[in-house]
């Protein structure tokens, strides 16, 4: 048993003094969830953070606005069609899947610009990455969780409103079962379109957010990069001649989502004038989506491999 300096009858300590207290620590006996559980937990945490859960009310403004802008129009149109049957056919023709997807595409851009920095920038600014990587997850697991979180959130805007429109079209049809038999591929096209748009926008947003710790800077860079790059490509396409200039449209990052929508869901008859260009077959734009996702994934992986 150690003695305390200064006690009666004890010699002064010759060196640094310390005591050991037995607090009864025990080995952990519970269930060890492993990497899969850690990835799921990080995914859910990232989604809540992007939605502003348990944060100030100002952090919830953008998510609420985006979800309202995505769902209120489709619910309103379905309600009008149900109450005013005289205009149901005209509204159904003008407010089709392609028109709705084209209207949602800018919302996805804004959502990615706002949510991606929420998922990455704070971790970098608060220097918690070493803490993450000291646990069961690897850098690949960390990036996978962030991609899943942003992809699921964006899919809720890119896919669910279109599915609501599909359900409305089915219920408002003269013969719902006949409508289902005549449109068996609508759900598949909706899911594919929404998935491609979500992954495309999410990849660009995350790779930009990976290079800065300031959320406002990341959001501004994202929107500015897409806008400027698209304008430069379109101006270059108008300035050059030759058949090869059609392929410049593959590099127009802002127009690729519109081309995907037109290819899979058809023309947006109610959307006014069509986007400039679209000279190539729709499937060729899949190469752009694949290239963007691959390059962003490689850049993010190498970026986080450099983290301590």
Q: Is residue 6 part of a domain?
A: no
Q: Is 16 a domain residue?
A: no
Distance CA 197, CA 101 (A): 10
In a domain, 227, yes or no: yes
pLDDT of residue 136: 74
| Contact of 145 with 155, CB cutoff 8 Å | no
Rounded Cα distance, 175 and 238, in Å: 48
Q: Read off the pLDDT of residues 152-170 as tens digits, 9 standing for 90 and up.
A: 999 999 999 999 999 999 9
2 assigned to some structural domain = no
Asked whether residue 14 is domain-assigned, the answer is: no
pLDDT at 123: 83
Instruction: Report if residue 19 sits inside a domain.
Output: no
Question: Residue 146 and residue 221: Cα distance in Å, rounded?
Answer: 19
Which are the contacts of 275, defined by CB distance < 8 A and separation ≥ 6? 255, 258, 259
What's the pLDDT tens digit per position in 225-259? 999 999 998 888 888 777 777 888 888 899 899 99
Say how far apart CA 237 and CA 246 lie, in whole Å.
7
114 touches 72 (CB < 8 A): no
Note whether residue 25 is domain-resident: no
Q: Whole-prediction pTM value?
A: 0.81
Mean pLDDT of the chain: 83
Residue range(s) defining the domain that contains residue 169: 35-305
* pLDDT bracket for residue 220 (50, 70, 90): very high
Domain count, the chain: 1
Q: Which of 24-38, 66-80, 242-256 has the highest mean pLDDT?
A: 66-80
Average pLDDT over residues 136-154: 88
CA distance 201 to 253: 10
* Residue 88, pLDDT above cutoff 70: yes
Q: Which of 32-46, 160-174, 206-220 has the lowest mean pLDDT?
A: 32-46
Would residue 3 count as lying in a domain? no
């Amino acid at each position: 048993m150690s003695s305390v300096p200064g006690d009666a009858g004890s010699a002064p300590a010759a060196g640094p003094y310390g005591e050991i207290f037995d607090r009864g620590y025990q080995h952990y006996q519970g269930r060890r969830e492993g990497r899969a559980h850690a990835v799921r937990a990080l995914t859910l945490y990232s989604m809540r953070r992007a939605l502003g859960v348990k944060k100030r009310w100002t952090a919830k403004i953008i998510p609420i606005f985006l979800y309202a802008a995505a769902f209120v129009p489709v619910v309103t149109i379905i309600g009008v069609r149900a109450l005013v049957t005289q205009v149901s056919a005209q509204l159904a023709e003008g407010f089709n899947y392609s028109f709705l997807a084209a209207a949602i595409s800018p919302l996805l851009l804004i959502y990615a610009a706002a949510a991606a920095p929420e998922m990455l920038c704070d971790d970098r600014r608060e220097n918690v990455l070493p803490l993450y990587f000291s646990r069961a997850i690897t850098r690949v697991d960390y990036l996978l969780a962030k991609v899943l979180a942003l992809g699921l959130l964006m899919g809720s805007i890119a896919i669910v409103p279109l599915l609501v429109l599909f359900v409305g079209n089915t219920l408002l049809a003269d013969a719902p079962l006949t409508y289902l038999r005549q449109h068996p591929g609508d759900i598949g096209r909706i899911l594919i379109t929404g998935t491609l748009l979500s992954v495309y926008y999410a990849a660009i947003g995350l790779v930009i957010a990976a290079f800065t710790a300031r959320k406002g800077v990341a959001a501004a860079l994202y929107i500015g990069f897409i806008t400027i790059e698209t304008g430069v490509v379109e101006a270059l396409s108008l300035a050059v001649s030759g058949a090869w200039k059609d392929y410049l449209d593959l590099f127009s990052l802002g127009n690729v989502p519109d081309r995907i929508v037109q290819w899979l869901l058809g023309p947006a008859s109610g959307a006014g004038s069509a986007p400039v260009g679209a000279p190539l077959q729709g499937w060729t734009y899949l190469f752009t989506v694949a290239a963007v996702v691959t390059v962003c994934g490689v850049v993010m992986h190498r970026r986080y491999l450099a983290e301590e």
